[in-house]
Amino acid sequence: MPAMSTPDSDTTTTIAAQLFDDVAIALRTRALSLWFEQRQILHAIDLSVPAERILAVIGPSGSGKTSLLRCLNRLNEEVHGCRIDGEVLLDGTDLLSASAPVHEVRRRVGMVFPKPNPFPLSIYENVAYGLRLLGLRRAALDAPVEDALRAVALWDEVADRLDAPALALTPGQQQRLAIARALALQPQVLLMDEPAAALDPQSSLHLEDLLRRLGRRCAIVLATHNLQQAARVSDYAAFISDGRLIEINDTDTLFTNPLRRETEDYVTGRYG
């Protein structure tokens, strides 16, 4: 099997045997490569994202975590001079093919950004933003907005001031609002790019609790360079270095007993 090839080869990915045998796969990439102008950022990545689980993508800064995530919802196309090769399969269809309208792809693959980016609207309108685009009116919005806010444990904190500006919330609340905003659209996959990067430790822990609960609701891809966070939260972990997917395994094994030398160096802090 090519996936189980020699452990110290640079170019191939090490996937533990029978890793995904008993879970459904929500999203899968095949030979995904990315270039900005002439520079290749990602090299032929084959990644499987298990449904209703949390997959942590770890790796040093600049290794391509954010770029990989932004390939999965085609947000890289907003960057001038980007070129993508390969496939991103969701429900058996290739998201990168021209037949899927890009905004519908992004509805199914939600994203949360490193810095909280609430829109300068009310709390309510922030959550309702994506649904309003689908033509829903206020009467039909109340229920899904409440659902989404409850799902991120924000409802009790803001129920009495839904029309207050979202920018008045604390950073931790803003980040949970951003998650609620994405959840309201019922995504199949939720991409989280360093969601705790701008939060204090307290809010960060709060967010991790939330992630663990959400992980039973949809597939989550969590990009982080915080190894403890990845270990605490995720079910599976993938290690990326220099734009190459090195190893993917269940989190415990990857951290305690990595198959590849590079992974071991990184998780034990001997990287670089």
Partner 1 sequence: MSVPLRAQPALDVAALVELRRSSRRRRERAGRALAAIGAGAVLASVLAIPVFLLFELLPSIAVPDGTGERLGVLLSGTFKASVLAVLLAIPVGLAAAVHLVCFSTPLQRSRWRPVLDLLAAIPTVVLGLIALTWLAPWLQSRIATLLVLAAAVLAAVLAGFAVFGQRLRRHPAWRPFVALALGLAAGVAVIAWDPLAGSVEADTPWNAVLVGLALGVTAVPLICTVGADALQQAWDRHVDAAVALGASRWQALRSLVLPAAAPGLAAAALLALGRCAGETMIVLMASGNTPLASADPRDGLRSLSAELALSLPVAERGGALWRMLLIATLLLFVLSFACHLAAARLRARAAS
Partner 2 sequence: MMRGAALRRGRIVEHLAAGSSAAGLALCLLLAGGIVLLLVRAGLAPFWPQPVIEYTLRDGRSVLGELMLHRDGALIVRGDEQARPGDGYVRLREAEILAERQPPDAVARVHADGRRSYRLGEAGPDEPDLVGVDRRNALTFAGKLAFFGERLRAYAIGGDRSGDAGQGLLPALAGTLTLVLLMSLIVMPIGVAAAVHLHVYAGRGRIGALVRGAVGSLADVPSIVYGVLGLGLFVHGIGGGIDRWLHADRLPVPTFGTGGLLWAALTLAVLTLPVVVATVEQGLARIPDTQRLGSLALGATRGETLRRLLLPQARPAVLSAWILAVARAVGAVAPLMLVGVVKYAPASPIDAAFPYLHPSRQFTHLGFAVYDQALISPDALVGVPRAYSAALLLVALVLVLNAAAGLVGRRLRDRDRAFPL
For 132, phi then psi, to 5°, come to -60, -35
- For the bound state, the minimum distance from the C-beta of residue 146 to partner 2, rounded and expressed in Å, comes to 18
Cα 123 to Cα 202: distance, rounded to the nearest angstrom: 22
Contact between 154 and partner 2 by CB under 8 A: the answer reads no
Q: How many residues does the chain have?
A: 272
Contact between 138 and partner 2 by CB under 8 A: the answer reads no
For 172, phi then psi, to 5°, come to -65, -45
Whichever of 145 and 254 has its CB closer to partner 1, that residue is 145
115 binds, among partner 1, partner 2, none (CB under 5 to 8 A by kind): partner 2
Cα 13 to Cα 247: distance, rounded to the nearest angstrom: 5
Q: Among positive and negative, which fits the CA dihedral 101, 41, 215, 50?
A: positive
Residue 251: enclosing H or E segment and its boundaries? helix 251-256
4 binds, among partner 1, partner 2, none (CB under 5 to 8 A by kind): none
135 binds, among partner 2, partner 1, none (CB under 5 to 8 A by kind): partner 1
Residue 79: enclosing H or E segment and its boundaries? none
Site string for partner 1, 183-212 (x = CB under 8 A): --xx--------------------------
Whichever of 35 and 129 has its CB closer to partner 2, that residue is 129
Site string for partner 2, 61-80 (x = CB under 8 A): ------------x-x--x-x
Cα 248 to Cα 240: distance, rounded to the nearest angstrom: 9
Contact between 163 and partner 1 by CB under 8 A: the answer reads no
Please give the residues from 123 up to 142 whose contact with partner 1 meets the rule CB under 8 A: 131, 133-136, 140, 142
**Are 57 and 235 spatial neighbours (Cβ–Cβ below 8 Å)?**
no
Whichever of 152 and 207 has its CB closer to partner 1, that residue is 152
DSSP state of 165: B
Choose among 259, 263, 251: nearest CA to 220: 251
Q: Among positive and negative, which fits the CA dihedral 198, 200, 201, 202?
A: negative
Whichever of 129 and 155 has its CB closer to partner 2, that residue is 129
Stretch in the footprint of partner 2 (CB under 8 A) among 14-22, 180-188, 245-253, 259-267: 180-188
Choose among 48, 61, 32: nearest CA to 240: 61
β-bridge pairing 54-58 and 219-224: parallel
Please give the residues from 181 up to 220 whose contact with partner 2 meets the rule CB under 8 A: 181-182, 185
> What does the block give as tokens for 110?
């939600």
117 binds, among partner 2, partner 1, none (CB under 5 to 8 A by kind): partner 2
Q: Residue numbers of the site for partner 2 (CB under 8 A)? A: 73, 75, 78, 80, 103-104, 106-107, 110-111, 113, 115, 117, 119-120, 129-130, 132-133, 178, 181-182, 185
The contact set with partner 1 (CB under 8 A) reads 101, 103-104, 107-108, 131, 133-136, 140, 142-144, 147, 185-186
